[in-house]
């Protein structure tokens, strides 16, 4: 004959079972869907402390940790001869964003310029005989635009470009970690990231996407 547990013990066991069930449910991540959208980029900015690369789009702002090789290349005397590319971006459900970039130097560099480019990390461009290319990956966070719209930010692009972005989205369609941009515009028109001045990246033809805006 089995003995029934005392009332308090039964309550404790019930609470323990309920907590275990809730914990199991909580440990199962919400199913995600992957959607594709196109973002028109209007501005490409570098923070004055050279720590962050800021991409201003029509729908979102994207703030990346600035890779040292990219910053050094943009700060070099060779920057006036560079073109660039931005590849497809991916955005996780929590807003973390990654994408590929490339800087391209044309043929016709003299020996000293080629040596400088190689020292910066450029390698032979297989798509262009005699050209040089630097490739890398940037990672950061996607932010909602807030009150700072694309047309209010000083731009370095000769015209807008479009990139394809793949984003994870909870099936509940709730925006996970939808942070509002820390980019702001001062009264004198200067664009800021928190309190750090942002300056347009000056690269002729700018950083081009592989898919141009029509």
DSSP secondary structure string, 43-93?
EEEEETTS-EEEEEESSEEEEEEPPHHHHHHHHSGGGGG-EEEEEEEEE-T
- Dihedral (C-alpha) 113, 114, 116, 119: value to the nearest 10 degrees? 170
Decide if pLDDT at 10 tops 80: no
The predicted model gives 128-139 an average pLDDT of 91
Q: How far apart are the C-alpha atoms of 101 and 14, rounded to whole Å?
A: 55
Contact 202, 64 (CB under 8 A): no
Contact 57, 157 (CB under 8 A): no
* 74-115 pLDDT tens trace: 889 998 888 888 888 899 988 899 999 889 998 889 999 999
Q: How far apart are the C-alpha atoms of 85 and 183, rounded to whole Å?
A: 24
Q: Specify the pTM.
A: 0.74
Contact 211, 87 (CB under 8 A): no
Share of the chain above pLDDT 90, in %: 27
Domain boundaries, the chain: 32-209
Q: How far apart are the C-alpha atoms of 205 and 214, rounded to whole Å?
A: 16
Could you identify the residue written with the tokens 């050209």? 131
Least confident of 22-36, 61-75, 90-104: 22-36
Q: Quick one: pLDDT band at residue 122, thresholds 50, 70, 90?
A: very high
Phi, psi (deg, nearest 5) at residue 50: 65, 25
Element (H, E) at 138: strand 132-144
């Amino acid at each position: 004959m089995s003995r029934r547990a005392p009332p308090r013990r039964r309550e404790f066991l019930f609470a323990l079972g309920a907590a275990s069930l809730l914990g199991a449910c909580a440990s199962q991540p919400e199913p995600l869907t992957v959607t594709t959208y196109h973002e028109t980029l209007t501005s490409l900015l570098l923070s004055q402390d050279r720590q962050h690369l800021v991409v201003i789009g029509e729908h979102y702002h994207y703030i990346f940790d600035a890779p040292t090789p990219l910053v050094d290349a943009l700060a070099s005397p060779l920057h006036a001869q560079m073109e660039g590319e931005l590849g497809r971006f991916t955005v996780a459900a929590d807003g973390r964003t990654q994408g590929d970039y490339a800087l391209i130097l044309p043929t016709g560099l003299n020996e000293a310029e080629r040596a400088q480019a190689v020292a910066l990390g450029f390698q032979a461009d297989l798509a262009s005989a005699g050209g040089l290319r630097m490739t890398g990956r940037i990672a950061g966070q996607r932010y909602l635009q807030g009150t700072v719209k694309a047309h209010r930010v000083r731009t370095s692009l000769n015209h807008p470009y479009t990139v394809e972005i793949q984003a994870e989205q909870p099936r509940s369609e709730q925006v996970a970690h939808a942070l509002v941009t820390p980019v702001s515009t001062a009264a004198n028109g200067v664009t800021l990231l928190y309190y750090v001045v942002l300056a347009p990246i000056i690269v002729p033809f700018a950083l081009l996407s592989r898919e141009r805006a029509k």
